[in-house]
């Protein structure tokens, strides 16, 4: 039987560590590590403080005059608290959490708060358990918010349907922080019983409830917040953010791959408002992680836009830690975790080193090695066998009567209502789009049209189709659409670009149809090559061919979306 530490043993072990930390803090013993001559951001006095930083047992023992078994001179550098991403879907990186951690550590991220609703929509509670196991013991602390909307709305056909009873036992896990983004704001405002049950259950466990309510206002916003929703990350303009902040919500300023709201919300990063603001990415694709960075990218951009550097650093660390009651993170102070980001200066903001619990995980060149978490073999097998779908034919996509047309807005995930179409018209940029149910082999296929995608030949298909992750495919003819969708299913999930009867690019995503077990660099290479093929086939370079497509299936974002049942008008809450 595996060893299980007794309660008394745990107390004794923690007592010994505590005594050691106190001995070091008092100066009676040497620290494990002493960062000598450090200049560090003091989040409590909004200033730069100076002194040696002593580390013992993974904690900061004190600042002042210390010696250590290992001493590192910090002269000419700045020490910041480790960065916290307040809201992310780890699955959006398209790789397993270990690969994400390897990519994010060099950017100063030491804690993330993730919502595993992508994999939960495919695998249900097994998906939540998979992500808990796949993130255990990583050198980035991964905190979990339990998915609130599986499926996102009753209109979706996902791989599972989770009520509050299904997720309630997970609140006992020591890394579960609360209930993730409540996307079903119509259900909250309408006092829907099953929706409010989830909020009441989370509050019974004294947990946070995050929000997702773009442009909700007036009494409806009052009702949403009164129900117990404490934050929002969907603010795309200042008026929306202020309306929510004035009513007590915390604002997660999002700058990710799919949605970028920093520029619009920069006025919040002032002494009047910043106390209730934090940073998040929501979705972060491989190329963005490798080329731009993570939370450090947001901080760097904010500072260059004129934001006080200490305000930017606090929004990147201390505020998220405080909001989620992670009381030993987000500051350089006695008793806090020794999570440090070492930079050269605020102007260039070049990350030189990253420490996690006093251990240097990034030395400026490479990331220290660490083991992959073990996942139950049953869960591994289940994650690699999530497709239940019959082979598709061109006839499955043929439809003669008029269907609603989704209008793409470049750079945004919202759409416009582009009227009706009854046939593909490549010259007018009218293409056919379909969503194919793939979890239960229902043969449900929603068909519509889309304008603005630009494809002139072939088809593009992906099993990343938020949030139920059915297969979504767009094409210039039904034969190519069927072939592309079939190839996605054959791979066990992924992205496919086809033209003239040949596969031009593909990205296998064999884990739940949304992630790969390969290295991030390999996935990014295939992804960028597939994008290039989509661009060569006509997709405009100012849109992401795959991310844009993946959001066309999410029926909580205005105005038109496509589900397995057809084109849905989000504003009017009806099929068209």
Domain ranges of the chain: 16-76, 81-330, 384-575
Distance, CA of 222 to CA of 227 (rounded, Å):
9
Distance, CA of 384 to CA of 511 (rounded, Å):
5
Q: Which residue has the tokens 């000419």?
A: 76
Which helix or strand (DSSP H or E) is residue 164 part of? helix 164-168
Q: Are 345 and 300 in contact (CB under 8 A)?
A: no
Predicted local distance difference test score (pLDDT) of residue 50: 98
CB atoms closer than 10 angstroms to residue 246: 11
Predicted local distance difference test score (pLDDT) of residue 4: 66
- Degrees (nearest 5) of the Cα angle 349, 355, 357? 145
Predicted local distance difference test score (pLDDT) of residue 411: 72
Predicted local distance difference test score (pLDDT) of residue 1: 41
pLDDT by 10-residue block (mean), the chain, 576 residues: 72 91 97 98 98 98 98 98 98 97 98 98 98 98 97 90 97 98 94 97 98 95 98 96 98 92 97 98 94 97 98 98 97 98 98 98 97 97 98 95 94 89 97 98 97 98 97 98 98 98 98 98 98 98 93 91 96 90
According to CATH, the topology of domain 81-330 is TIM Barrel (3.20.20)
Q: Are 88 and 95 in contact (CB under 8 A)?
A: no
Within 13 Å of residue 376, how many CA atoms lie on the same side as its CB? 12
Whether this model's pTM surpasses 0.75: yes
CATH dotted code for 16-76: 2.30.40.10
Predicted local distance difference test score (pLDDT) of residue 295: 98
Q: Are 41 and 78 in contact (CB under 8 A)?
A: yes
């Amino acid at each position: 039987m595996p060893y299980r530490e007794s309660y008394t043993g745990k107390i004794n072990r923690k007592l010994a560590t505590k005594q050691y930390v106190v001995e070091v803090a008092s100066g009676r013993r040497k620290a494990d590590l002493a960062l000598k001559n450090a200049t560090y951001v003091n989040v409590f006095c909004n200033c730069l403080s100076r002194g040696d930083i002593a580390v013992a047992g993974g904690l900061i023992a004190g600042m002042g005059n210390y010696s250590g078994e290992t001493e590192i001179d910090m002269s000419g550098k700045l020490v910041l608290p480790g960065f916290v991403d307040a809201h992310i879907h780890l699955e959006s990186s398209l790789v397993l959490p270990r690969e994400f951690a390897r990519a994010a550590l060099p950017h100063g991220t030491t804690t993330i708060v993730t919502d595993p609703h992508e994999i939960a929509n495919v695998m249900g509670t097994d998906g939540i358990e998979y992500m808990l196991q796949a993130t255990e013991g990583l050198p980035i602390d991964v905190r979990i918010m339990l998915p609130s909307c599986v499926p996102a709305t009753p209109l979706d056909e996902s791989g599972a349907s989770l009520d509050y009873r299904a997720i309630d036992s997970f609140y006992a896990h020591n890394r579960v922080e609360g209930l993730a983004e409540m996307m079903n704001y119509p259900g909250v405002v309408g006092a829907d019983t099953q929706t409010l049950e989830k909020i009441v259950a989370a509050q019974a466990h004294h947990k946070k409830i995050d929000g997702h309510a773009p442009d909700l206002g007036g009494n409806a916003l009052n009702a949403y917040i009164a129900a117990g929703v404490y934050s929002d990350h969907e603010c795309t303009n200042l008026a929306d953010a202020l309306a929510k902040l004035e009513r007590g919500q915390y604002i997660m300023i999002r700058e990710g791959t799919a949605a970028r709201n920093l520029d619009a919300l920069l006025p919040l990063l002032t002494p009047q408002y910043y106390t209730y603001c934090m940073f998040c990415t929501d979705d972060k694709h491989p190329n963005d992680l490798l080329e731009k960075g993570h939370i450090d990218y947001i901080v760097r951009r904010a500072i260059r836009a004129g934001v006080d550097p200490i305000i930017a650093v606090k929004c990147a660390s201390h505020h998220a830690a405080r909001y989620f009651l992670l009381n030993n993170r987000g500051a350089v102070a006695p008793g806090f975790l020794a999570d440090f980001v070492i930079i050269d200066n605020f102007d260039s903001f070049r990350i030189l080193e990253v420490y996690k619990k006093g251990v240097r995980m990034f030395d400026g060149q490479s990331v220290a090695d660490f083991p992959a978490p073990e996942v139950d073999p049953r869960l591994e097998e289940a994650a690699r066998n999530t497709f239940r779908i019959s082979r598709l034919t061109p006839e499955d996509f043929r439809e003669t009567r008029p269907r609603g047309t989704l209008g793409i807005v470049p750079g945004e995930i919202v759409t416009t209502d582009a009227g009706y179409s009854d046939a593909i018209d490549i010259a007018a940029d009218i293409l056919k789009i379909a969503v194919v149910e793939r979890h239960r082999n229902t043969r449900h296929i929603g068909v519509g049209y889309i304008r603005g995608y630009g494809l002139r030949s072939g088809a593009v298909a992906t099993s990343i189709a938020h949030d139920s992750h059915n297969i979504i495919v767009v094409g210039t003819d039904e034969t190519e659409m069927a072939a592309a969708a079939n190839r996605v299913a054959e791979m066990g999930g992924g992205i496919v670009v086809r033209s003239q009867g040949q596969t031009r690019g593909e990205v296998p995503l064999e884990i739940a149809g949304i992630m790969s077990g390969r290295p991030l660099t390999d996935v990014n290479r295939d992804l960028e090559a597939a994008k290039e093929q989509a661009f060569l086939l006509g997709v405009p370079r100012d849109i992401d061919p795959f991310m844009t497509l993946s959001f066309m299936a999410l029926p909580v974002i205005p105005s038109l979306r496509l589900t397995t049942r057809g084109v849905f008008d989000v504003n009017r809450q009806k099929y068209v």
